[in-house]
């Protein structure tokens, strides 16, 4: 150990417990294992879920490593600058900021998406929408190029995951938020689908003419009820974009405008897939039926909560 390894300022406040302390100095070089243990303690104390895993992911972020490498190499070293950065990240998480905004990434449908505070953090339940589009696309004629609209695209996760898995698909993605669209554009480049997707800053589907054009219209619209703000978790309410979380006073406002717009833009026999919030599926299914859709299916998430409505636009034959 050299003198360079020691902080001679006698700093003792809020330091990683794993750091070796002496009465007059603190050794500031530290190992991966030590800082992970310290972070796990701090995060548990702040009642952060999955404290140890969070610590590992934050060290991975600082070192530019994978989490697996962090676990496999507890003897790895951090420089004083890396330790300082790590402590800042741990503090941000302890004060409530979502991990994904700190690391700037979130995995969705096996792809690692960029996320910023301008976009909703993609959720596992939204993966059901992607799975349903891929399943239903098998029913379409093989020669046909599938055309999809993703309304309220946010990070672009739905449209981009579909395009990544469906080479014959093209997509239009709309969002009312220009900063969100910028993130989505970057994700489209990241996953090399930029040549098959167009982004439009628009209110729902209003930018498209009222004529049948799409095989799929997919949306995870904002569905939180502004009138029931307090029921929404603080980590969502305080950090995620207001316009991505809350749809209006009742939470049904986006559905009531989007469903009739979609009906006028889907090809006959084409599909509308909507994610719904807890307890909303019956009312949203009723709205879709009222607009002439046949509700084919309701998909439950892993907790058994109805999450995704699959509605089909009637064909000309059915209309007669
Ligand atoms: C619940 S987030 C969904 C984001 C992303 N599709 C996902 O599943 O993670 C809703 C998105 O809709 C956008 N949005 C809200 N109102 C909109 C509107 N009137 N027209 C278009 N997009 C809207 C928000 O900016 C937000 O990005």
pLDDT at residue 111 in the model:
98
Residue of 48 and 27 predicted with greater confidence: 48
For the domain bounded by 105-319, which CATH number is listed? 3.40.50.150
- Quote the DSSP letter at residue 116: -
Residue minimizing CA distance to atom 9 of ligand 1: 122
Residues of the chain with CATH 1.10.8.10: 3-96
Cα 276 to averaged position of ligand 1 atoms, centre (Å): 13
Residue ranges of the chain assigned to CATH 3.40.50.150: 105-319
Tokens for 140, please give them. 């379409």
> Which ranges in the chain belong to alpha helices (H)?
32-45, 51-63, 67-72, 80-94, 99-103, 127-137, 157-165, 178-190, 234-237, 242-245, 253-263, 281-290, 316-319
Return the half-sphere exposure (C-beta side, CA atoms, 13 A cut-off) of residue 66: 4
CA 197/CA 169 separation, integer angstroms: 9
- Mean pLDDT on 126-155: 91
Residue range 311-318: mean pLDDT, rounded? 81
Question: Each residue of 181-227: pLDDT tens digit?
Answer: 999 999 999 999 999 999 999 999 999 999 999 999 999 999 999 98
Decide yes or no: CATH 1.50.40.10 for domain 3-96: no
The closest-lying atom of ligand 1 relative to the alpha carbon of residue 223 is 1
Question: Once rounded to an integer, what is the mean pLDDT over residues 31-37?
Answer: 96
pTM: 0.90
Tell me, in angstroms, the distance from the centre of ligand 1 to residue 277's CA. Answer: 14
Interval between CA 254 and ligand 1 midpoint (Å): 9
Residue 7 scores a pLDDT above 50 = no
């Amino acid at each position: 150990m050299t003198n360079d390894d020691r902080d001679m300022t006698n700093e003792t406040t809020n330091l990683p417990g794993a750091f070796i302390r002496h009465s007059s100095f603190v050794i500031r070089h530290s190992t991966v294992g030590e800082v992970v243990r310290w972070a796990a303690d701090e995060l548990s104390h702040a009642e952060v879920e999955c404290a140890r895993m969070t610590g590992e992911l934050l060290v991975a972020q600082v070192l530019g490593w994978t989490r697996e490498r962090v676990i496999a190499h507890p003897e790895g070293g951090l420089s004083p600058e890396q330790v300082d950065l790590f402590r800042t990240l741990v503090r941000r998480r302890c004060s409530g900021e979502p991990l994904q905004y700190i690391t700037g990434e979130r995995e969705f449908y096996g792809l690692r998406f960029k996320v910023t505070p301008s976009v909703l953090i993609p959720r596992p339940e939204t993966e059901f929408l992607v799975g349903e589009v891929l399943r239903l696309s098998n029913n379409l004629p093989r020669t046909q190029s599938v055309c999809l609209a993703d309304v309220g695209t946010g990070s672009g996760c739905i449209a981009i995951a579909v395009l990544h898995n469906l080479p014959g698909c093209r997509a239009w993605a709309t969002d009312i938020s220009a900063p969100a669209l910028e993130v989505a554009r970057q994700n489209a480049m990241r996953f090399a689908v930029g040549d098959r997707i167009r982004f439009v800053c628009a209110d729902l589907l209003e930018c498209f003419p009222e004529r049948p054009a799409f095989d799929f219209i997919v949306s995870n619209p904002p569905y939180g009820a502004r009138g029931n703000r307090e029921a929404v978790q603080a980590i969502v309410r305080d950090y995620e974009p207001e316009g991505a979380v809350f749809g209006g006073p009742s939470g049904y406002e986006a559905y009531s405008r989007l469903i009739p717009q979609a009906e006028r833009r889907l090809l006959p026999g084409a599909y509308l897939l909507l994610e719904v919030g807890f307890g909303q599926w019956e009312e949203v299914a009723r709205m879709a039926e009222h607009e002439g859709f046949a509700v084919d299916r309701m998909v439950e998430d892993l907790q058994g909560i109805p999450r995704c409505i699959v509605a089909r636009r009637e064909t000309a034959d059915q209309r007669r």
